[in-house]
Chain A
């Protein structure tokens, strides 16, 4: 009889594995993962050194999308920024080291920008703006040094903005030149509260993520800074980016390519594959 019990116990046991369940980590993050959102004109590398220590086409795409998030508003946005840490290579199931030339699917875009942060447009003072970029480039490696654990705080910038960085200078004084929408920003910044730049960024950065808290303070809550949260498409960075890409890079002819918006002087540069 004892064996009967044991047999029953064993039978029960064999059922155990069938009861195990795990999350499907490969489940796409969007309903239409295969929908093409646009075309990439050259391979975009996603390793941290490329998203956080160099210009990056997808980062620039997102920054441009932010820039246009509030198109039509009374006061136009002058600058869009996205932190390099928002662009990920982990992928859902497999590490995605690069986005190949050609069509970019909605699923892949959501894997690369998978945090789904909200986008907020807000007024910043010149001081804040410069401090923002100083922080962005503070930890860039100097020429000759290895790029190790680049900081996710590095900012990719939108079209019309140029940033010239000299890594030979000490942190805090590395920004040599900054032009926003063609308008030169005084470096060092003038201490004038009246000089404002309308900047679009992710709520993550605005709320102090990646060490921006001390620079941005409570700009996100200050009515004087007129913070506006994007409403279109749920207001998330990825959706806005997808929509912008659809409009701007709809074909292999009009495909996304990286632009030299941040100009690096005396900085280490990631080694690109030879084929590129």
Chain B
């Protein structure tokens, strides 16, 4: 009931907003028009369109261009009523195609894009699809791909609404072989349209209908002479781009040179989990597209670097290069118009549409992240259905997936490089989003490709390597309750450049914040502090501290070695210094300091294979050093009357840990047959705990030490049983096959075998060496494109995660002051999870409004999960919960795009987690919200400003009751709704954007759970309202 009362009213308000938003697009002129996928050579192309709400429109123009040409403008003549018509003259209708967009001259003199934009024009392929070798290289006019297959198929008058043309076109268009007619293309979304152009990096595909939705798949089979062509092509492409730009009349073109390389650069490293593997993808694609690429490269020259390459399209459509399948791909392209339709590379190591990927995932591109008013990765993750982000007393952000929360069980990758710390599994993941091109999230075990750790979910953070210069500055802060503003500022600068075969990028993020300071009324030392006169009885125990300084700097270089592939080297340094939000466990330690330094380095190589596949290798190194110093008591605290029992700086403990990982991996994509695509991988990883130091400034009997020292009885983990616990070798072999049995049916079979070294114990339970644990993790996926509008998925996967060294062996001597720890247990077994998922994805279009609905149900069975459960109040060893944990639930999301600037989305998730070891009445795990509801709406306010509102709601949380202690440490966190609102400018002078936003707008008093609610009875207060101003610039 509580959630009903708390969440729903706001929800309803939001929905009201959504309903209001839907017709918002009506305020601005819109064009009902469908771009013909293909036209005949040397035949004038007639374009018809219906203008809606054209009251302020003076004139309508079509601006078109041929390959490498500047835009040429022709007016659209009004025929009758609101029907407008224009014609692209025959002489410009040459292969490979033309691009155009429609613009309106308004009464006030402004120009408004009505259909697509200069940056993302509609593309019409001219001539026949070159099934056979086509055209000569820098094909300018004249080159042709004879024998037009289909006549220009312009269906300008698709029903404005309710017509549901989608259904038809969705139908087995494959059979027809004709490109999908009459797709009503919505007004250009900044996100969507990019899709297809970006496709073939160097080898852009031509328009929808062109088949080859999946560049890789499609190109692979016939790649003629990959290497040779490949490099030449790339070079040419680059040149042609270079040539194209200066010549471009359209002022917008140079505006975003980043676009230039959007095809290549972003993919270069980011996306792909295997570093430059993406590059290879690019190459392989280009390789198979010898000729027309060069020409089309000119067309694509200035596309913005939107993440979503149409490469996105999956293996599902793999066979679609067949003419018969072309409409399938055209549908895919249309789907890709949704910003919600984003790509995931994390599942198959290749970019695939979220829609068809054999996993339940989500992906957020830059535009979406900006529209969310997100500053950090945590802000973004918190709106993913099924995911909740909370904080703990130490200030860590903790990601819960489908009702369970465990740091070591969500795999975080930064450009494919694991961020989770070997020692404790935590990841320094809360990066600013300015540097990110996209965030990919998989709920449930990711795929057979990832081994240990991809357990509850996988989050891949992909940095932006698009050519160009980008900068952003955000400043603002949190008004504290004493009236002062706690400042928060962050800056971002990134540069990337491609010259010939050489690609370079460098970026830096700086973040500094004073942080909110909220009252903690009670802690475990209330009585002592008052008794010792450290504070008055009416004073609070302390305040939260949330200061943070963060640096993220990275750079890389890659070079194409002709036929030998591409090598790249990249490095990144992350450093964070921050306060503990409250303290270690149950006391406020305002002088705690936590620092975390991460160095990541990768050497990558990739090369296309003759059959269109590719091979990638990566050598990765990382080092993480954490230094966590907690103040356990207030300053001047006394543990007794003795001289050495007074602690001027409070009792303190410090844990310094350094871990290193060296990884070598090789993987290969092989096209076994046209519709069969095999990914093989082999990875060797040596993880080590290179230093471990735990020191305290007090003795076990509570006396001051002259200098911090390891307490008596502390074991050096690095030397334990000759390093058995501190070094771990993992070997992983994976194979995943995606087989498109029929055009609409793709099967995925995957298998990952991991051999992981874990400590071994003798009969007495003492460590005495290492053993190797072998785990086999299968994955099966069935993706059915029942129609073009509907995709169904059935998935099964198993994943495992070994215990961390901390869980295995860390034992901190117990004192009255450093509580809250569990004792390492060398007997711990790896935990495994079996996941069953059913998903459906539906697209509906009506007029220029589109709705996507996506839903899935899941069942996860966790065997021998490792869960810290305090059973006795004493330090207890961790153990596997023998009867396991079961989670099931549903997740759903819907997105509506009404016009280029008006969109609304909602998602909701419901899960139920049960610890099967417990009696019925205390089985439910309820410490993360069982139900989440998130919604957002973006709408234009006039010509220059957009309003984005995002609501995040969560159901009431309560303590678990897995043990008697948990049962009596009661807390109840009411349902919450947090609102983020922002005003966002349209691009100003083509180079700037300004955003003014507020998080937690209504200053909702959100709390998170604490481990000892009986002691910190007010729980953990979270950030209140905060406001920021962001200026972004891009060149």
Contact = CB atoms under 8 A, between A and B. Distances in A.
Genuine A/B complex: yes
Interface stretch (B7-15, B59-67, B473-481): B7-15
B896 A13 contact: no
Given A85-B873, A92-B968, A20 B3 contact: yes
Contacts of A209: 872-874
Interface residues of B, number: 57
Contacts of A14: 8
A148 B922 CA distance: 32
A211 interface: yes
B956 A2 contact: no
B975 to A, nearest CB: 9
Interface stretch (B119-127, B205-213, B513-521, B905-913): B905-913
B5 to A, nearest CB: 9
Contacts of A116: 964
Interface stretch (A4-12, A249-257, A258-266): A4-12
- Scoring A10, A116, A145 by chain B CB atoms within 10 A of each residue's CB, the highest score goes to A10
B3 A23 contact: no
Interface in A194-247: 204, 208-211
A3 B22 contact: yes
A27 B922 CA distance: 9
A71 to B, nearest CB: 28
Given A3-B22, A5-B844, A12-B892, A25 B930 contact: no
Interface string B27-44: 000000000000000000
Contact of A9 (B894, B922, B923, B1014): B894
B906 A9 contact: yes
A116 B856 CA distance: 42
A24 interface: yes
A211 B958 CA distance: 31
B968 A27 contact: no
A25 B19 contact: no
Contacts of A210: 874
Given A3-B19, A23-B921, A13 B967 contact: no
Contacts of B3: 16-17, 20
Contacts of B970: 25, 90
A35 interface: no
B958 A22 contact: yes
B53 interface: no
Contacts of B844: 1-2, 5
B955 A13 contact: no
B924 A22 contact: yes
Interface stretch (B237-245, B751-759, B845-853): B845-853
Contacts of B922: 23-25, 27
Contacts of B896: 2, 5-6
A152 interface: yes
Nearest to A111: B968
B855 to A, nearest CB: 9
A23 B961 CA distance: 8
Contacts of A73: none
Interface in B921-970: 921-924, 926, 930-931, 933, 955-956, 958-961, 964, 967-970
Contacts of B15: 6, 10
Contacts of A271: none
Interface string B152-184: 000000000110100000000000000000000
Interface string B872-908: 1110000000000000000010101010000010101
A6 B898 CA distance: 13
B961 A149 contact: no
A6 B18 contact: yes
A19 interface: yes
Given A17-B8, A23-B922, A2 B846 contact: yes
Contacts of A145: 531
A88 interface: yes
B528 interface: yes
B668 to A, nearest CB: 42
A13 B908 contact: yes
Given A2-B846, A115-B964, A17 B528 contact: no
A234 B760 CA distance: 35
B135 to A, nearest CB: 43
Given A22-B924, A22-B958, A5 B873 contact: no
B1 interface: yes
Interface string A102-131: 000000000000111000000000000000
Contact of B528 (A19, A27, A148, A204): A148
B892 A1 contact: no
Nearest to A145: B531
A131 to B, nearest CB: 15
A74 interface: no
A91 B967 CA distance: 9
Nearest to B921: A27
A88 B906 CA distance: 46
A168 interface: no
A189 interface: no
Contacts of B892: 9, 12
B644 interface: no
Contacts of B849: 1-2
A24 B970 CA distance: 12
A21 B912 contact: yes
Interface string B429-445: 00000000000000000
B853 A146 contact: no
B524 interface: yes
Nearest to B968: A90
B773 interface: no
A270 to B, nearest CB: 13
Interface in B993-1015: 1014
Given A6-B19, A13-B908, A21 B930 contact: yes
A92 B894 CA distance: 42
A114 B908 contact: no
Nearest to A28: B921
Contacts of A2: 22, 844, 846, 849, 851, 896, 898
Nearest to A21: B924
B82 interface: no
Given A2-B846, A149-B527, A17 B955 contact: yes
Contacts of B912: 19, 21
B722 interface: no
- Scoring A9, A10, A92, A114 by chain B CB atoms within 10 A of each residue's CB, the highest score goes to A9
B814 interface: yes
Given A1-B844, A14-B8, A24-B921, A146 B527 contact: yes
Contact of A148 (B527, B910, B968): B527
Contacts of B643: none
Contacts of A90: 968-970, 1014
A180 B525 CA distance: 36
B4 interface: yes
A114 B961 CA distance: 13
Contacts of A92: 967-968
Contacts of B933: 13, 16
Contact of B930 (A13, A20, A151): A20
Given A6-B18, A23-B961, A17 B4 contact: yes
Contacts of A85: 873
Nearest to B855: A12
A22 B814 contact: no
A5 B853 contact: yes
- Scoring B844, B851, B960 by chain A CB atoms within 10 A of each residue's CB, the highest score goes to B851
15 contacts: A1-B849, A5-B853, A5-B896, A6-B19, A13-B933, A16-B908, A20-B931, A21-B912, A21-B930, A23-B924, A23-B961, A27-B921, A27-B922, A114-B967, A148-B527
Given A5-B853, A21-B924, A85-B873, 13 more contacts: A9-B908, A14-B8, A16-B908, A16-B931, A16-B955, A19-B912, A23-B926, A25-B922, A25-B958, A115-B964, A146-B531, A148-B528, A149-B528
Across chains A and B, which 6 residue pairs bring their CB atoms closest together, nearest first? A90-B968, A148-B527, A27-B921, A17-B4, A1-B846, A17-B3
